[in-house]
Amino acid sequence: MVTAYIDESGNLADKNPFFITAVVCLEDEKVPTRIIKRLRRVLGRRKGKIGKEIKFNNSSERVKKYFIKRFLNEDMYCLVLVVDKVKKQIIDSPENYAKILIRILNIGTKIYNWQKIIIDRKFDKLIDQQKLNKEIKSSGVDAKKIEFVDSEINDGVKLADFIAGFYGQFYNSNKPLPKELSSNVSEERLSWSLLTQKTVVPKGSDD
């Protein structure tokens, strides 16, 4: 069974020109915990005693390099959706974020046959979470496959956070993208205007 873990880098309303969403796909659900445990060893911290959640933005270059090493040793496939805001002022709302997720979920369920999808709980307010769920359900995506979680307690989402982080700093900060990622990552780039057009259909879809 293929499980897809999804996390984003940035905020639709921030000043960065690009919004990044990353997906890590795995058949073995033990892989994320194995990688995160090893990252903790690099940090010299034990689970339960760590001061901060392991995230890309608060990790040293040493940890990031070690992540790449572990990433290459595991059988992972990743998808990155890069949304070019085209200098537009976009509200960071459940409705707008849903447009991005629906694009990704259509790709995953129609082309790659994702059977389980775990997504970082982006919004803290219950009403926003409900709005996001409503938008996804109304799109026709099978909501039974989807689970929203706190990235702090899900190691698979942590992996997606690292992938999103690498691409976020590449597109928004002009930092080099590790060449090792390209062989395991499929990237799609769309403008916000194109993404929000209903005529956009995932490549490979029969719809």
Predicted local distance difference test score (pLDDT) of residue 88: 87
Question: Closest Cα partner for 76 from 39, 125, 122, 23?
Answer: 23
pLDDT for residue 110 is more than 90? no
Name the band, by pLDDT with cuts 50, 70 and 90, for residue 1.
confident
How many of the other CB atoms lie within 10 Å of CB of 36? Answer: 20
Please list the alpha-helical segments (H only) found in the chain.
31-43, 61-73, 94-110, 126-138, 155-173, 192-195
Predicted local distance difference test score (pLDDT) of residue 119: 98
Token code pair at residue 121: 């709980």
Predicted local distance difference test score (pLDDT) of residue 8: 96
How far is residue 190's CA from residue 192's CA, in Å, rounded to a whole number?
Answer: 6
How many angstroms separate the Cα of 193 from the Cα of each of 40, 105, 198, 201?
Answer: 41, 19, 10, 14
Taking all residues of the chain, what is their mean pLDDT, rounded to a whole number?
Answer: 88
Residue bearing tokens 């590790």: 178
Q: Which long-range contacts (CB under 8 A, 24 or more apart) does 46-54 make?
A: 53/151, 53/152, 53/158, 54/158
How far is residue 13's CA from residue 146's CA, in Å, rounded to a whole number?
Answer: 25
How far is residue 155's CA from residue 152's CA, in Å, rounded to a whole number?
Answer: 8
Residue bearing tokens 């769920």: 133
Token code pair at residue 203: 């490549």
Token code pair at residue 192: 């916000």
pLDDT for residue 47 is more than 50? no
Q: Nearest 5°: phi and psi at 189?
A: -125, 125
Name the band, by pLDDT with cuts 50, 70 and 90, for residue 108.
very high
